[in-house]
Amino acid sequence: MALKNESMSLKKKHLLDMQSIAPEEIKLILDTASSMKEILFRSIKKVPTLRGRTIANVFYEPSTRTRVSFELAAKYLSADCINVSAAASSIVKGESLVDTARTLRAMGADVIVLRHPYSGAPYHLAKLVSACVINAGDGTHEHPTQALLDLFTVQEAKGELAALKIAIVGDILHSRVARSNILGFTKMGATVRICGPTTMIPVAIERTGAHLYTQVEEALDGVDVVMMLRLQLERQQQGLFPSVREYTRLYGLDQQRLALAKPDALVMHPGPLNRGVEITSAVADSAQSVINTQVTNGVAVRMALLYLLAGRFTGGQE
Amino acid sequence: MKLLLKDGNVINPLNKTINIQDILIVDGKVAAIGRELAASLDLDLSRSTSGTGFQPVVFNDEETIKDACPTISVINAKGKYVVPGLIDMHVHLREPGFEEKETIATGTQAAARGGFTGIVCMPNTEPPADNQAVISFIQQVAQKTGVVNVFPVGTITQGRAGKELSEMASLAAQGVVAFSDDGAPVVNAKLMRHAMEYAKMLDLPVISHCEEPALAAQGMMHEGFTSTMLGLKGIPAAAEEVMVARDIILANLTGCHLHIAHVSTAGSVELVRAAKEKGIKVTCEVTPHHFTLTDEAVSSYDPQTKVNPPLRSKADVVALQAGLKDGTIDVIATDHAPHTQEEKELEFELAPFGMVGLETAVGLVWTKLVIPGILTSCEAVAKMTVNPARILNLKKGLIEIGAEADITVIDPELTCVVKPEEFASKGRNTPFSGWSLKGLPVATIVGGEVKWIK
């Protein structure tokens, strides 16, 4: 397999966030992902690059999409992949992440992919294991691999990330996808607009450089990318929005609103979708939608990350 | 038993004076204060002992002191501050119920190492200190195993549940110095009103942990840019301020002495300042961690920085320091909250709130307030001696002839690195590990006995 940029490598051992990642590192990951994507369209989608390496998917939150994406990425690179899923109930006091980490270290996993309901858990794990840790979503903190696949998807369609305008619409407060994307797109020179009801906008978010909107029509005006976030319906009981009906009326993306964006604007969504709530089916399934491409690119980006991290570092037994 | 503190810079926090003086302690009480007491003792001693005369000795360790007693011990305090025994009016001793975190024995040892001769222990034990039996237990254990004075606080409500009043008069009869449901706010305003009315009748203060729980909403840290970026649920400053405002209004209504525990926000300081101007009977305290650290300390998700109220913004820290300077904040108290290593090894969101404070307090006060000139040494000492003593109606906090000899010696030049593994406290949960602090206690004397000396 011929991969570009083989001489370059990531400076980091772990991928924990977009906050501390340098633009050159993002570029390297995206370039590597391009090479990986070619593999996905071969008749035999398997290369021996990571043969003999072990990837552990440790998921403390139910997730099909991200876990399967990592699993496929590992398998296409010939790594051995194990899935450890723990019910959220088992992380209450007593069965701690510390113990899980020690177990995994003793078993010699090279890469640990962690999805965890608590913000910061991957940092905790990274301190305790010798393996590379990839954050597959931690609480309401970050979801860096999602941001990288989103960056990749936009770059693939638009060529350049710099100077693009991206609108992220929805529950920014609880969205790790939003945080990682704000950081990622801003680092690559794009302008990020965030939009949602004031109750779902985190304090001081504009200090990231993102521009704040509460009117979706203004936020969408002339943008290159519209990224809709999933509305967690239980937020209504918390008093964050009065009703789904009103939310959809104010922030839902339909054809009419989409027309405010540039004619060739991309429609994105990290999934899973609430069709008819934050996005209409007509928009989600339109020619402008790259929602399915995001899924395909997710595998390519995760292959790139596994290659760049596991290819260089090994966990090894204690 | 006699003890002479020689040539120290004796601070009187009430008169704000510092004089080089000797202090003679006889039978646990301050017998004489003045210059050259050693010389006058000379004669005295030659008569009472075998005629060898007075030999000034510098004692470095407890053994030497014990060996030397019961004749006389001398502590050379030259260049050091000799101050009234420090009082920490906000300590969690954890016994009964959580002896794995701390006991009255270890907590009071930590207090002695921190320069405190008296500590006020909060009632969130198990069972809670909501009845005479628990208070009596604490007093007896403190008597037997404690090395400094322990002043218990009784709960405001039964089981700290915020539903019904504790037997406050019985608790008062048992000797509690204040009432508080610390850790849990009294959410019901009517109940808080009645608690204040009742406490006023008993002439005891109510210490309020101000936190509106619905606004705090299971937050983990200060609500601000840092919490946004870390994705941790924020506790807005308003959660504290709403209840500070409510309790000040209730103090005005009832005439009760309200003491607000661990103020952490600029808004709280402002509310207390305004209330004091109106003549409302309100006092408040701040912790060393709140006047030292900001929410940015949480950035590494280190559970050692998880504390309630949370570490606030830079602007809040500045306001707290200003409140200390202008007297709005009366007291520096630690909110010493020991937890086990296992608990603090958990993920940030699961780890309990709290940090230990007894053994770093004086160092932080000197390093962060006195040396930078925010407080004079007299002002700083007042906030740890006479001020808490007055709030709690304790006959403590001053070095006076005839008074119990509770005295702390502070070396303003001594610098040490914080090493939690050397703490006397069982709790090692501090965010200050590895910090170099200047200005530290070197001797703690309780009732004339040297309980700790460096």
Give residue-wise pLDDT tens across range B276-322.
999 999 999 999 999 999 999 999 999 999 999 999 999 999 999 99
| DSSP alpha helix (H) spans, B1-61 | 37-48
Q: What is the CA radius of gyration of chain B?
A: 22
pLDDT of B63 over the 50 cut? no
Token look-up 């409302």 returns B280
**Residue A296: its pLDDT value, please?**
97
Q: What is the mean pLDDT of residues A300-305?
A: 97
**Residue A88: its pLDDT value, please?**
56
Q: Nearest to residue B261, comparing CAs of B279, B277, B243, B276?
A: B243
Q: Write out the E strands in B71-205.
A: 72-76, 81-84, 86-91, 116-121, 149-152
d(CA A265, CA B453): 73
Determine whether domain B85-391 maps to CATH 3.40.50.2300.
no
**Tell me: the pLDDT tens digits for A113-128?**
999 999 999 999 998 8
Token look-up 């400053």 returns B237
Of A6-10, A283-287, B448-452, the one with minimum mean pLDDT is A6-10
Answer for the pair B119, B88: CB distance below 8 angstroms, yes or no. yes
Residue to mutate among A115, A116, A118, with most B CBs inside 10 A, is A118
Q: Which residue would you say has higher pLDDT here, B328 or A317?
A: B328
- Split at pLDDT 50, 70, 90, the class of B198 is very high
**Residue B20: its pLDDT value, please?**
95
- A93, A202, A208 member nearest B350 (Cβ): A93
d(CA A76, CA A300): 10
d(CA B179, CA B405): 27
d(CA A31, CA A43): 22
* Contacting residues for A106 by C-beta, under 8 A, at least 6 apart: A317, A318
**Residue A316: its pLDDT value, please?**
44
**Residue B444: its pLDDT value, please?**
98
d(CA A226, CA A205): 19
Q: Which residue would you say has higher pLDDT here, A233 or B67?
A: A233
End-to-end CA distance of chain A: 32
pLDDT of B43 over the 80 cut? no
What rounded mean pLDDT belongs to chain A?
Answer: 91
pLDDT of B170 over the 70 cut? yes
- Split at pLDDT 50, 70, 90, the class of A98 is confident
* Contacting residues for B147 by C-beta, under 8 A, at least 6 apart: B105, B108, B109, B111, B112, B446, B451, B452
**Tell me: the pLDDT tens digits for B334-387?**
999 999 999 998 889 999 999 999 999 999 999 999 999 999 999 999 999 999
- Split at pLDDT 50, 70, 90, the class of A87 is low
How close does chain B come to A171, measured CA to CA in Å? 13
Q: Which residue would you say has higher pLDDT here, B37 or A75?
A: A75
Give the number of other CB atoms < 10 A from CB of residue B60.
Answer: 11
Q: Which residue would you say has higher pLDDT here, A237 or A215?
A: A215
Q: What is the mean pLDDT of residues A31-59?
A: 94
Which is it for the CA torsion B420, B425, B431, B435, positive or negative?
negative
Burial label, B426 (beta-carbon count in 10 A; 0-12, 13-18, 19+): buried
Residue to mutate among B301, B306, B339, with most A CBs inside 10 A, is B301
For residue B234, the chain A residues in CB contact (below 8 A) are 203
Interchain proximity B349–A139, CB inside 8 Å: yes
Q: Where are the domains of chain B?
A: 85-391
A204 touches chain B (CB under 8 A): yes
Q: What are phi and psi of B316, to 5 degrees?
A: -65, -45
How close does chain B come to A45, measured CA to CA in Å? 37
* Contacting residues for A164 by C-beta, under 8 A, at least 6 apart: A154, A158, A185, A190, A191, A224, A225
How close does chain B come to A238, measured CA to CA in Å? 10
- Split at pLDDT 50, 70, 90, the class of A91 is low
**In the Cβ-directed half-sphere of A131, how many Cα atoms lie within 13 Å?**
29
DSSP assignment, residue A250? Answer: H
The H or E element spanning position A162 is none
What rounded mean pLDDT belongs to chain B?
Answer: 93
Q: Nearest to residue A20, comparing CAs of B229, B313, B431, B297?
A: B229
**Residue A299: its pLDDT value, please?**
98
pLDDT of B49 over the 50 cut? no
A205 touches chain B (CB under 8 A): yes
Instruction: Return the structure tokens found at A133.
Output: 């840790």
DSSP assignment, residue B259? Answer: E
Of A93-102, B38-47, B406-415, the one with minimum mean pLDDT is B38-47
d(CA B40, CA B247): 54
User: Residue type at A208?
Assistant: T
Which is it for the CA torsion B344, B348, B352, B357, positive or negative?
positive
Of B37-46, B113-122, B134-143, B187-196, the one with minimum mean pLDDT is B37-46
pLDDT of B58 over the 80 cut? no
**Residue B41: its pLDDT value, please?**
57
Please give the angle made by the CA atoms of A289, A266 and A292, to the nearest 5 degrees.
35
pLDDT of B55 over the 50 cut? no
- A93, A120, A205 member nearest B348 (Cβ): A120
Q: What is the mean pLDDT of residues B187-204?
A: 98
B15 touches chain A (CB under 8 A): no
Instruction: Return the structure tokens found at A120.
Output: 């910061």
Angle between helices A121-128 and A97-107 (to 10 degrees): 40
Instruction: Return the structure tokens found at A130.
Output: 């010798």
- Split at pLDDT 50, 70, 90, the class of B57 is very low
Q: What is the mean pLDDT of residues A26-39?
A: 96
Q: What is the mean pLDDT of residues A52-73?
A: 93
Q: What is the chain A residue with the closest CA to B230?
A: A141
Q: Nearest to residue B108, comparing CAs of B77, B66, B139?
A: B139
d(CA B215, CA B233): 11
How close does chain A come to B214, measured CA to CA in Å? 11
Give the 3-state secondary structure of residue A197. Answer: coil
For the CA atoms of A24, A27, A29, A30, what is the dihedral angle to 10 degrees?
170
**Residue A86: its pLDDT value, please?**
75
d(CA B296, CA B311): 8
- Split at pLDDT 50, 70, 90, the class of A84 is confident
**Tell me: the pLDDT tens digits for A129-176?**
889 999 999 999 999 999 999 999 999 999 999 999 999 999 999 999
Token look-up 């993002």 returns A26
**Residue B38: its pLDDT value, please?**
61
Q: Nearest to residue A134, comparing CAs of A247, A57, A236?
A: A57
**Residue B345: its pLDDT value, please?**
87
Distance, C-alpha A106 to centroid of its chain: 29
B448 touches chain A (CB under 8 A): no
pLDDT of A7 over the 60 cut? no
Interchain proximity B231–A207, CB inside 8 Å: no
B228 touches chain A (CB under 8 A): yes
Q: What is the mean pLDDT of residues B60-67?
A: 44
d(CA A248, CA A27): 36
Q: Nearest to residue B82, comparing CAs of B147, B40, B39, B33?
A: B33
- A96, A119, A208 member nearest B230 (Cβ): A119
Interchain proximity B345–A208, CB inside 8 Å: no
What ipTM goes with this model?
0.92
| DSSP alpha helix (H) spans, B293-446 | 314-325, 341-344, 361-365, 377-382, 386-391
DSSP assignment, residue A229? Answer: P
B224 touches chain A (CB under 8 A): yes
How close does chain B come to A100, measured CA to CA in Å? 12
End-to-end CA distance of chain B: 21
| DSSP alpha helix (H) spans, chain A | 23-40, 65-76, 97-107, 121-128, 144-158, 176-187, 216-220, 244-251, 255-258, 281-284, 291-310
Answer for the pair B336, B358: CB distance below 8 angstroms, yes or no. yes
User: Residue type at B162?
Assistant: G
Pairing assessment for the beta strands B17-26 and B2-12 based on DSSP bridges? antiparallel
Instruction: Return the structure tokens found at B325.
Output: 């300077």
| Helix, strand, coil percentages for chain A (3-state, nearest 5) | 40, 15, 40
- A92, A119, A123 member nearest B232 (Cβ): A119
B300 touches chain A (CB under 8 A): yes
Give the 3-state secondary structure of residue A97. Answer: helix
d(CA B432, CA B441): 17
d(CA B323, CA B345): 35
pLDDT of B103 over the 50 cut? yes
- A118, A203, A208 member nearest B350 (Cβ): A118
